[in-house]
Every structure is written in structure tokens, then in C-alpha cells.
Structure 1
């Protein structure tokens, strides 16, 4: 709308004269009536004593026009926030989808590779026991999808079932009851029939799956945080300031005049005071995402882990086969002699199923790719490039908006801009960032005694998400909450903590930087007075 007024209405309606129109607009300098031609509230030029928001000088605007423009300024502001944050939302949404599709496809390819490899190597022996391997991948998918699954228990259960099957297969001349196989399992931990391969595979798979799940859920959390943070509600003080900077020039007959850059900054910093307080935790969250992505292209590589499942399981089976006599002897000593299979007194011939073939690993050029022709290294590289510019997004949002030529005058145009009253330089200093810095904001009245609960909840969500990502960097399995789940409600207490901030779940409700603010003592008194009244 601002751009429309500046480029469409001005050439036909606005005539630059000697400068007298700065104090009293002329009909030619009042395109507001053309803009609202279909609106019966169009007001002829006259004194502005009726105005509540704009300077009460000669004006083109009626009270109804002023109200209409105030609503429009709020709409423009919210649209600017939405447009500016769109790249965040798009990045998180697209990266989440790409990584999720890729990781799921890796799991599918891993299972397919195992089925093909084991069918060729073990033949009917594998197909008869395929449910053991199918169940492993069912549980791995359930874990990755966010289910309440312990990877340690999943892998332990898999090896327990596998040792029972393989022990029976390498001793076909015996019949084993369920109780006997339980005894075999009890001895397996000490005998280590698969060697050190279960530990190695467990470490590799656990780290990779924990990091992969953490990254995908972290991207979903980022998307949801952006959605919530961008859905602002401009307060009355903010709307008044927006109206004064964007549309009061129009009412004064100066539609081409943009607000001074520093005026715009003060207005935006006041309107976005709570949002700026997300900055510290937001940066920590982005850093944690970046570090987890680096782990995935390094020691926690999901591609290598998925590729290694079939190889290491096959190596484990071969290890047990090669040591079957020694293992069986020790088991028989501990569990007793099993019964011979009726009609069998010696080992049966080995099951035919093709000769074992040596397993190969992929060279970097041969890494498995998804249907889109990408691999993990490329995905991670693209993600890291997109994460870097996200740092400091919320605290720099006022600058991003005010740097738009449709929103404010260029920073070099300090003398030919709207300063809130007329054309000229804007003199007040630019305030700092965040809620506590707005106490001296000359443009926006900000209620610092009541920090925005929604922003404090977002801060808490970011802290929780960052903590999960940091655990994943260490290969630690933590229960990730669903990204859509709201944080637990705060617990209220009727006392003050040691530095005077009311402890209504301190980390959520107390303003960021509360203690370090130079107006700290004054604010403590203010909060106490308000709460005691």
C-alpha cells in the first residue's frame, strides 16, 4: 500500500510548491480523497483538532480516515513481519522434508540391501528367519519417527533373537526347547558369539539414528517456532506509532515522504521488543542445529551407519559360524546336553544357498543417492549455508524492515524524511534491543511490567530443543517431545526470588537481561508495586 501511494497517486495528485503546503495542505496535495474516493468519510482540508494520532495541524484526514489508516498500518506491519520471516519458514519446511525423505529412504535401502545380500548368501535359511530382521527395521523406523523406543533395547533384542536362530542352525542335529535357548542367551553375553560386532554396530547405529532424529525434529521445531513468533498482535501503542510514521505524512499532504530511518528503527524496536528477546536462545538453537549437522557428515554419518547394518550383521553371523564348535561346547557345558533330533545323529549337510561373496563398501563417488540424486554430504552442506544467516534474525528484524525503501527513507536521507511531525531530521537517539531497553523509547509505549508470556514460552521451547540437540551431539538418547506439543504450564508462586523478580516460572516470565539493565532497581520497585496493588 505504501508503495502504491508513492508510485501511483503522487505523480497525478501531488504538486511540489514553495513549501507552504508543509503547514497547510492544498487539494492538489491531498491524494487521500482520491485513495478513499469510494468512502463517504472523505474529508476536505481543514484544522486537525479532531485527530488523535497525527499532529493536530491542517490535515486531509477525518477521524474515520485516521482510524482506517491505523488499521491499515497494522496490516502493513504484520505483512512485513510475515514476508521477512518467510525465508526462515521456507528453509525449515523444505530442509525438514528433504532430510526426512532422505533418512527414511536410507532405512528402506538398508533393509532392501540386507534382504538381497542374505537371500543370495544364505538362501532358504534366511527367508525362514526373515522376521527377525524385519522386526529390527520396524523398530528402527519407529524410533526414527519419534516413537518411545530405546535403541539399546531394540538392538539387544535383535542380537538375542539372532543368537538363538544361528545357534540352532549351526547345530541342526539337536532339538532346542525355549528354555534351553533362554539359557543360550544368558551365556551369550559372556561368550560373545558374535565377537565385538554388536558393540561396534550398536555404537554406530545409535549415534547416527539419534543425530538424524534430533536434526529432523529440530528442523520441525524451528519451523513451528517461526510460525508462532511471526504471528504477532500489535498492541495499541505500537499501532499508534505505526500510524504516525507511515500514514500521518499522507494526512499532511506529503504522501511521498517516507519516515526517517531512525524513526522507523525506534518504532520497530518498540513494536518488536519482546520478539528481540528471542535472540540469545534462537542463536543457541541455530548453533546446535549446525553442530548436529556437522556430526552427521562426520562420526555420526547416517549413510555409513545404514550401509553397515547388513555388512556387520553378516560378519557377526560368519564369526559365530567360524567359532561354532568352541561356542557350542561352552554352551553345552553350561546348559547341559540337548536332545538329538529324531533320526539324526550327526550334523546335517550345510544348507545350500549359494557361495558367500565378499562384501564391498561404497567409494565416495558411489554413495547411495535418493531419488532426487543427492547424498548426505550435499544435504548437510546446503543446510549449513542456510543456517548461517539465521543467526541474529529476530534482533535485526527492525533493521531488515526499515532498510526496505517502501518502509522508510534511506539512512543517507536524514533531512528529507518524515520525523513524526513534519519534514526534517529525526533527533532522538535509537533505543537498544529487547524489552528492557524500551523504557526510554520516544515512539512506542511498552508495558515492561508485563513481559509477553508467549515470547517467554517460545524462549523455553528453544531451550528445550537446544538441550536435546546438544545431547544428540554427544550421542546421548533423550526423549524428544513432539514438535507440536506445548510446553508444560508454568507454576505460580506468591513470593519473590532473591533479585526481586516475581517467580512465575522465572525462566519464562522474567525479561531477558533483567538483572543487567541499568534501570534494574526502578523496575523491581515498579513490579512490586504493581503486584501488591
Structure 2
């Protein structure tokens, strides 16, 4: 009799196990997809209960859902941060490379003009371009105090110093003292007399102003791209903290139905209410600051530093031409300040001279970044509502939401979800969220991030306004006369879009040209170039050669 009872108990136990195993089979695919392997049904889960999840399995499901939520909500943030950093690196590399090409090009100009004495221009030229690259470096501390401190170099001062150091070499060339060199004392006097003589006219001031405005604006853009990426990285950490705090709700929404053996997904509005209240509300206060930051970046995406670097060698050529054309005026002023030239013998300069067209082979071939920056600006503009919609992405995940609100998991059973849907993730809407008890979760770091983004926008707008205010004056200057109407972006004529090193025109034979209407060399009135079409660097060099021949 006892054996019969034991057999009946075994049969009954098997039937119960089969009955329990059948509904759990519906959840097997879900568990397998999330690598949930624990099988400890003897200890019921504390949140879901149900015959399909013991304590160990419930914890694994909870961790898997939290990971899915973090990945889903942070993905667009990671992509946007990557966009900012990649654009920063690309633009920084482009402008830095362009500065090296421009430096080499200007050095070639000096080699043609000053021949053996060109070595004396190497250090002043290096100092100018080193300061330019220091401006473009835009690395290091991104604190509010550092960003408000301004650029590390004043390029207006740098440019003035460059032309001041260049003056003795240029004046030596004007006087045709190939076999002589100034004494050290006379060179010091020439540099001290630079302000009084003004040998290069107003070209140094114009160049210094344009370099400062364009390169400092580029630096601001590079810095603010880094600031934006850093702020986004911080929001990822906020979301990670929020998902930990919400992990019980996430488990109840997307895991409990499986633990109870149901093959059902959460109702869509149930997911949206939960995501907006538990996750989206954390970052909702960043909606406005982020949109403002994006607008600020858009205003600086036309980088004038590219044009400024391409034109630098041409501006230097223009300054040298001014000094040659007004040599008589400069000589009179120098004699008043320093007396007649004090010279001594110097080693014979090198007779080597670059062949015609060598500057053309040093063209700045890197294409302007306008197209890439326009694409970047368009992509970034699409993220203005980044934080407003970040939580809703969670409900695009198959495990977290069904396509409807009927016959789905409503948090308690397979039924309809009839609770009202909150319209957004804003904090003001969460008081009406049926899935959030009490106040919506908040993080003190969000206010700091909002302030940081607002400061970034203010800096970006300040540089863009400075550029806008200077645009009219820029176009009324001699650049406007050289470039025509000023509509659209203009580049020096020697920019080789095809990458060809050939000169192309075929009419530069290096012969001197005569100028019938040119005033005599002893004229006391400075002559100002302007109104003529923009010259290429090679044409400028030939004009300088012609003036030298004319004035000897």
C-alpha cells in the first residue's frame, strides 16, 4: 500500500512539473536572447515572483533589461558626441596642415625676394605661424574659467611683431645692399623706428585684425565642439545612474510577464509613461540649453580661418609691394629716425634662386572644408530635440513595448492599458504620470550641464556677432576692391582645385614691365594699391621683381 502511495505522488509531481514547464517554455526564447541562464526556482524572485523566475534568474533579467535601456537611450547621445569630436579633429587637422603649407609658401616668397638674406626671415616667420598654431591647438582645460579667459595669443600683436622684425630685411632689400649688412645697432634702430616709418602701410594692421577674428573664432568653435562632447559624455553617466534607480520599474515592465510565463510585451503607452517619467525626466531640463548650443555652433560653421590662412602669403606680398612702391617716403623717415645706413661687409648671398613657377608648386591644395561643415551642421541641427526624445527610444526596443495598448502586459496582467499618456518627459508633466509616484527623479549634475551649454552658446554667439559686425567693414576695405561684389566665399587665385602644380597661364616670363603713369621714385606721397583684380602670389612676385628693376 505504501508503494502505491509513493507512485501516485511521483506521478502527481511529474504532472505539476509538466504543467509548470509548459508556460515557461514560452519565455525560453526571451531568456536565451538575454543570456539568462540561472535556474533556481526554489527561491522565488522578490519583484516578479512567478513560476519561471527564481531569485537568481530575476536578477539576471533585471541586469539585462537595464543594459538594454542604457544602450538604447545613450546611443543617439554617443553618436552625437562622436560627430562633435570627429568634426573637431578633422577641422583642427585641416587648419593646422593649412598653416604649415602657408608657412612654406611664404618662406618660398622670401627666398625669391631676399635670396641669401632670406635666412633672416626664418625665425620671425616661425614665430608668426607658431602663434597661429597655438591658437588652433584648443586643447587642455575646458573649465568655465579657462574658456572665458580668451585665446593664449593676441595675433594682432604677433602680426605687428612679425612685420617689425621683417622691416630690416625688407629695407636692406629696398636699398639693394646685397654685399653689405646693417650693423646690429642700426637694425635695432630700424625696429624701434617701425611705428614712425610705417613701411608696410596699413597692411599689417588689416592682416592682424583679420587673423585675430578668424582664427579666434575657429578656436572658439573647436573648443565648443569639445565642450559639447564632454557635456554629452556627462549625460551618459546621468542616464546610467537613472537606469539603476529605475531598474525595478524596468523589470516590472519588461520582465515580469516573462517570469510569469506570458509571451507578451508591455503595452506601448505603459512603456512611454515609464520611460518618460523614470528616464526622460532626468534630462528634460537640457532641452532648451542643447537647442541653443546647436544654434550657436551653426553660426560659426563657416570657418573664415581657412580663407585667412590661404590669403596670408598674398597679404605679405602686398605689404612688401607697398614698401617698394613707397621707398622714397620710407627712406626719408628712416634717415630722420636713424640717420644714413650703417653697414658692414657681409658674406656673399647665395646665387641660387627658385625657378619661375616654384611658388605654384607650393599651392595650398587642401580643399576648403565648407561642404563637410555644411553636412555637419545639418546633421547636428537634427539633434536639437535630442533630450526630448531620448526616453521614447526605449519603447522602440521589441522587449519594452508592443505596437498597441490592447491585450498586452499592463504591469499586472495581460489586458488593456487604460491609464492616460503623459505628453512629454518634462518635469511639469510628470505630476500627471500614472507610473511615477511622487516627484520625478532628478540629478544635481543636470543643472551644471545646462549652465555649461548656455555658456558655450554665449561664447559662440559672441564670436559670430563679432564676425557679423566686422563683415561690412571687411567688404568696404581693400579686400572688397580686390574680390569684387563680395557675394559668396572667395579664395586666392592660386588655389589649385585640381591639385595641379602647373602655372597654367604661360605668360609669366619674368620680364620687367613698364608703368607709364607711375610717379617718380622720389615722390613723398605714399602710394596705396587697391581696386585692381586680385593677384596670384606668382604675379605679385613678378610685380615685385619689376618694381625692383624699375627702381634700380
TM-score above 0.5, yes or no? yes
**1:156-185 Cα shifts (integer Å, max 9, x gaps):** 221221224323443466976666555544
Q: Deviation of residue 361 (structure 1)?
A: 9.9
Structure 1 residues 331 and 439: CA distance shift in structure 2, 3 A: same
Distance in 1, Cα, partners of 2:296 & 2:102: 28
Aligned residue-pair number: 426
Q: Deviation of residue 351 (structure 1)?
A: 9.4
Structure 1 residues 70 and 115: CA distance shift in structure 2, 3 A: same
Tell me, yes or no, if the aligned pair for 1:260 and 1:418 is still in contact at 8 Å.
yes
- Show the counterpart of 1:220: 226
Structure 2 unaligned residues grouped into runs of 5+: 1-18, 139-150, 468-552
**1:304-339 Cα shifts (integer Å, max 9, x gaps):** 211111111121012112212211212322x24245
- Show the counterpart of 2:391: 398
Structure 1 residues 223 and 288: CA distance shift in structure 2, 3 A: same
- Show the counterpart of 1:389: 382
State which of 200, 203, 209 in structure 2 corresponds to 1:203.
209
Specify the SS of the correspondent of 2:47.
coil
- Show the counterpart of 2:411: 420
Tell me, yes or no, if the aligned pair for 2:265 and 2:408 is still in contact at 8 Å.
yes
State which of 65, 89, 108 in structure 1 corresponds to 2:100.
108
TM-score, normalised to structure 1's length? 0.71
Distance in 1, Cα, partners of 2:349 & 2:324: 11
Q: Deviation of residue 444 (structure 1)?
A: 3.3
Structure 1 residues 361 and 424: CA distance shift in structure 2, 3 A: farther
- Show the counterpart of 1:462: 453
Verify: 1:245 aligned to 2:253, yes or no: yes
Alignment of 1:404-443 (within 5 A): 404-410=397-403, 413-431=404-422, 432-443=424-435
Structure 1 stretch displaced more, 236-245 or 61-70: 61-70
Structure 1 unaligned residues grouped into runs of 5+: 1-24, 45-49, 477-533
- Show the counterpart of 2:62: 70
- Show the counterpart of 1:304: 307
Which runs of structure 1 show a deviation greater than 6 angstroms over 4 or more consecutive aligned residues?
172-175, 349-353, 355-362
- Show the counterpart of 1:501: none
Alignment of 1:125-136 (within 5 A): 125-136=117-128
Distance in 1, Cα, partners of 2:437 & 2:256: 18
Tell me, yes or no, if the aligned pair for 2:124 and 2:166 is still in contact at 8 Å.
yes
Structure 1 residues 72 and 405: CA distance shift in structure 2, 3 A: closer
Q: Deviation of residue 459 (structure 1)?
A: 1.4
- Show the counterpart of 2:162: 158
Structure 1 residues 185 and 247: CA distance shift in structure 2, 3 A: same
Tell me, yes or no, if the aligned pair for 1:277 and 1:395 is still in contact at 8 Å.
no
Tell me, yes or no, if the aligned pair for 1:176 and 1:338 is still in contact at 8 Å.
no
Q: Deviation of residue 149 (structure 1)?
A: 1.5
Specify the SS of the correspondent of 2:262.
coil
Distance in 2, Cα, partners of 1:238 & 1:222: 27
- Show the counterpart of 1:29: 23
**1:352-398 Cα shifts (integer Å, max 9, x gaps):** 77599799999xxx99444xxx5312221221232121111111112
Tell me, yes or no, if the aligned pair for 2:405 and 2:417 is still in contact at 8 Å.
yes
Distance in 2, Cα, partners of 1:121 & 1:367: 18
**1:204-231 Cα shifts (integer Å, max 9, x gaps):** 3223212222222222222222222112
- Show the counterpart of 1:266: 273
Distance in 2, Cα, partners of 1:113 & 1:360: 7
State which of 187, 192, 195 in structure 1 corresponds to 2:198.
192
**1:392-444 Cα shifts (integer Å, max 9, x gaps):** 1111112222133343112xx22132211122332222333233432333223
Tell me, yes or no, if the aligned pair for 2:253 and 2:266 is still in contact at 8 Å.
yes
Q: Deviation of residue 241 (structure 1)?
A: 1.4
- Show the counterpart of 2:297: 289
- Show the counterpart of 1:42: 41
Tell me, yes or no, if the aligned pair for 1:415 and 1:425 is still in contact at 8 Å.
yes
Distance in 1, Cα, partners of 2:425 & 2:414: 27
- Show the counterpart of 1:22: none
Specify the SS of the correspondent of 1:119.
helix
